[in-house]
Amino acid sequence: MSKRRFYITTAIPYVNGDPHLGFALECVQADVLARHRRLLGERVRFLSGTDDHSLKNVEAAAVAGVPVAQFVDVKAERFAALREPLELSYDDFIATSRDPRHRPGVRRLWHACAASGDLYERYYEGLYCTGCEAFRSPNELVDGLCPEHRRPPEQVAERNWFFRLSRYRDQLLDLIESGGLRIEPEQRRNEVLGFIGGGLEDFSVSRSQERAHGWGIPVPGDPSQVVYVWFDALGNYISALGYGTEGELYGQWWERSDERLHVIGKGIIRFHAVYWPAILLSAGEALPTAIFVHDYLTVDGQKLSKSLGGTHDPADIAGYYGSAALRWWFLRDVPRAGDTDFREERLAARANELADGLGNLVNRTIALVARHRPRGIAAVEPRTEESLALQAALQRTPGEIEDALSRFDIRSAAAALWSLVEEANRYVAATRPWELARAESDIDAGTDLDEALGVLMSACRTLARECRPFLPAASERIGCALAEGNPELGRRLFPKAP
């Protein structure tokens, strides 16, 4: 029986600035889901990348006084470099301006939609927000400003190519209502259904070479236009698999994947849950099976944004507090739904939680075994009430984590893992193995010590395995410390906050 295939992607951010914590959150969430599926034995492909063809990038390069291509390449490398400080396991990273797979993929997608009769030219006037890279209707504005970027959109009038989104209203409703396209959490699903139910207007998929300053993929057959950023950017999910370059990966990971999951932020849900499925329907290609939408990270209630400043560099934070601490804060404090305010004292508290809870548990267990059972622990079946309760928790926890992650409830999954840490620490407090060791002359006490240490070692091994998706490097360190029985390694598992 062949293994299930699971294809997971992050959104690809604009590179008009350096990475911020909001994108780091998305990367870590996707990484947890990818690693967990690998732990279950599934075949996984994990993609991330950058959206290089954006007017925002052109404007930022002009401000910096450097050529656009040079500016974009330098910034894209900053995003790719998050792999190490965030302990990411993506299999592929696509920078859309320089990756040779991307342009042929976008061109093929354009030709497929054109062949379906879904692309046409018309003159258009409207309010364009460069931050969103999208036209805004007057009723979407707040006091005349884009609600996302808090600045007035630009009045634009030009001839563009348009996509017949209106043609796909009923199909999109059927797909989402039936669960053929799963959108989580439910409030985001309802948001998309409301948007579609209110009627869909055709949208622009190109802009003039002049307004784009010559930056972008030329529209096939019309060199006066470049492909609009969303038609271009969304195509990365399949161009990276060789759609357009006859690559084998497209068949394996898109057409025949059991699941195709996009992890995105709420600000771009319309493009992923409405525009993208419609484009794929037009092109006759398979759709994503699920879209998981996270909310925003804020600082003092203000959304993190490259264009608004205050990015809070994730690499710097991970370098100061440690990768494990930053990942653990994302996983423990960010809910499935609702914005989360970043506070450095909460991050420090999570770093200390790891040190005092998980690190101390593993360290104490290794030290007790090294001191009192250096030649090995005698096999004793758990028989006390405390041992049986902890053993039951060991058996229960993997299923609880799997259930939570199947709902994309990453905080609940992390809570289930931590519940096991707390259960094991309560077991230490209840059984007091050091006192059992002092009573070794009593034959029953010796048996009790073997039982206690055996159960604790089982707990630590289970935690090492189950924390692999959440804290991958720490999981490996725990495994090595347990295998070597080295108390010194145990003491260095998690540093306290500086």
- 43/126 Cα distance (integer angstroms): 45
Give the CATH number of the domain where residue 10 resides. 3.40.50.620
> Which domain, by its residues, includes 180?
5-318
Whether residue 328 lies inside any domain: the answer is no
User: Does the pLDDT value for residue 4 go beyond 60?
Assistant: yes
How does strand 290-294 pair with strand 182-184? Answer: parallel
Q: Which of 285, 318, 351 is the last residue of a domain?
A: 318
Host H or E run for residue 5: strand 5-10
CA-closest candidate to residue 378, choices 442, 449, 321, 313: 449
Same domain, 359 and 294: no
Q: What is the DSSP string of 241-293?
A: TTTTTT-HHHIIIIIS-SEEEEEEEGGGHHIIIIIHHHHHHHHT-PPPSEEEE
Same domain, 358 and 310: no
Q: What percent of the chain is modeled with pLDDT above 70?
A: 94
pLDDT in tens, 351-398: 999 999 999 999 999 999 999 999 999 888 999 999 999 999 999 999
Whether residue 402 lies inside any domain: the answer is yes
Residue 301 pLDDT: 65
Residue 130 pLDDT: 66
pLDDT in tens, 429-438: 999 999 998 8
CB contact at 8 A, 429 and 410: no
- 36/256 Cα distance (integer angstroms): 20
Task: Give residue 389's Cα distance to chain centre.
Answer: 34
pLDDT in tens, 249-280: 999 999 999 999 999 999 999 999 999 999 99
Q: Torsions phi, psi of 332, nearest 5?
A: -90, -30
Same domain, 382 and 284: no
Q: What percent of the chain is modeled with pLDDT above 90?
A: 81
Whether residue 327 lies inside any domain: the answer is no
Same domain, 379 and 285: no
Residue 229 pLDDT: 80
Whether residue 334 lies inside any domain: the answer is no
Residue 131 pLDDT: 63
pLDDT in tens, 100-136: 999 999 999 999 999 999 999 998 877 877 666 666 7
Residue 256 pLDDT: 97
Higher pLDDT, 126 or 167: 167
Name the average pLDDT for the chain. 92
What is the tally of structural domains in the chain?
A: 2
Same domain, 298 and 370: no
Whether residue 386 lies inside any domain: the answer is yes
User: Does the pLDDT value for residue 243 go beyond 80?
Assistant: yes
Same domain, 302 and 368: no
For residue 95, CA distances in Å to 53, 99, 325 come to 10, 6, 29
User: Does the pLDDT value for residue 138 go beyond 80?
Assistant: no
Same domain, 308 and 165: yes
Give the CATH number of the domain where residue 423 resides. 1.10.730.10
pLDDT in tens, 303-322: 655 443 445 899 999 999 99
Whether residue 268 lies inside any domain: the answer is yes
Same domain, 228 and 278: yes
Same domain, 250 and 378: no
Same domain, 291 and 376: no
Same domain, 308 and 431: no
Same domain, 386 and 287: no
Can you give the pTM of this predicted structure? 0.92
Whether residue 330 lies inside any domain: the answer is no
pLDDT bin (cut points 50, 70, 90) of residue 302 is: low
Whether residue 335 lies inside any domain: the answer is no
Higher pLDDT, 335 or 441: 335
